[in-house]
């Protein structure tokens, strides 16, 4: 059995190969004793629920005989946790990365193109994030959760001229703010440091 803690990073829609590499490198550097995992479930055909259903069998197969699981979840990954009960049952702590600006982007796209149009043009995850609450009504993880909220607009948010979402619109009340935009979130040492400092046991 590999007794090292598992630092599981759940990417969001905007992650690409370069952002995966940068994020994994930061994670290894800041938590070298952990086993870092960042699964690639990104597909235009996977919606929020579909990602959750993908994660559970992946966790059962990939994390079998592994140590305790600590999760850093970017927007899509965090939303999908509500649909991954097996993974959540293994998880000790979760850090959610949320964004007042980036989460306004799919909502603006769904308003402009409708849900079917956004689904066709941008993929199911973006359509789902634009049309549904972040988590289903009544859902609450059984483990402690820290929410980190990005405060700066991404390039896409500026292009669409979205307004920042309020606490009520995001469905949050307790959180820490991080001065980063979503374009830089996977490269942000400040964000990763805040996440690891809170997740790391002891």
**CATH assignment of the domain containing 155:** 3.40.50.1820
Predicted confidence (pLDDT) per residue in 94-115, tens digit:
999 999 999 999 999 999 999 9
**202, two tokens:** 């002891």
Does the pTM of the predicted model rise above 0.85?
yes
Is residue 103 situated within a structural domain? yes
Question: What pLDDT is attached to residue 46?
Answer: 95
Is residue 33 situated within a structural domain? yes
Share of the chain above pLDDT 90, in %: 95
Predicted confidence (pLDDT) per residue in 18-44, tens digit:
999 999 999 999 999 999 999 999 999
Is residue 73 situated within a structural domain? yes
Question: What pLDDT is attached to residue 3?
Answer: 82
Question: What pLDDT is attached to residue 174?
Answer: 94
- What total of structural domains would you count in the chain? 1
C-alpha pair distances (Å), 102 with each of 141, 150, 162, 185 = 23, 9, 9, 11
The answer to whether residues 100 and 75 touch, using CB atoms and an 8 Å cutoff, is no
Helix (H/G/I), strand (E/B), else coil: 118: helix
Q: Structural domain of residue 167, as residue ranges?
A: 6-199
Is residue 128 situated within a structural domain? yes
Predicted confidence (pLDDT) per residue in 113-165, tens digit:
999 999 999 999 999 999 999 999 999 999 999 999 999 999 999 999 999 99
**CA 107 – CA 113 distance, rounded (Å):** 10
Evaluated on CA atoms 163, 11, 132, 139, the torsion sign reads negative
**185, two tokens:** 């979130």
Residue 49 has pLDDT above 80, yes or no: yes
Question: What pLDDT is attached to residue 64?
Answer: 84
Is residue 1 situated within a structural domain? no
The answer to whether residues 55 and 91 touch, using CB atoms and an 8 Å cutoff, is no
What value does the mean pLDDT take over residues 48-53?
97
Cβ density class 146-165: b for 16+ within 10 Å, e for less: bbbbbebbbebbeebebebb
């Amino acid at each position: 059995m590999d007794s090292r803690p598992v630092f599981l990073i759940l990417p969001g829609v905007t992650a690409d190969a370069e952002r995966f590499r940068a994020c994994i490198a930061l994670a290894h550097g800041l938590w070298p004793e952990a086993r870092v995992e960042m699964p690639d479930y990104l597909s235009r055909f996977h919606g929020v629920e579909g990602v959750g259903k993908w994660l559970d069998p992946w966790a059962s197969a990939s994390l079998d005989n592994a140590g305790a699981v600590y999760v850093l979840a970017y927007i899509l990954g965090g939303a999908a946790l509500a649909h991954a009960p097996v993974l959540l049952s293994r998880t000790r702590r979760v850090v959610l990365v949320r964004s007042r600006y980036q989460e306004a982007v799919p909502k603006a796209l769904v308003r402009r193109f409708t849900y079917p149009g956004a689904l066709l043009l941008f993929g199911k995850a973006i359509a789902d994030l634009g049309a549904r609450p972040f988590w289903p009504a009544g859902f609450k993880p059984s483990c402690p959760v820290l929410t980190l909220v990005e405060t700066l607009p991404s390039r896409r948010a500026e292009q669409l001229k979205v307004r920042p979402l309020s606490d009520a619109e995001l469905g949050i009340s307790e959180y820490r703010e991080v001065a980063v935009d979503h374009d830089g979130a996977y490269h942000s040492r400040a964000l990763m440091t805040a996440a690891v400092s809170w997740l790391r046991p002891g």
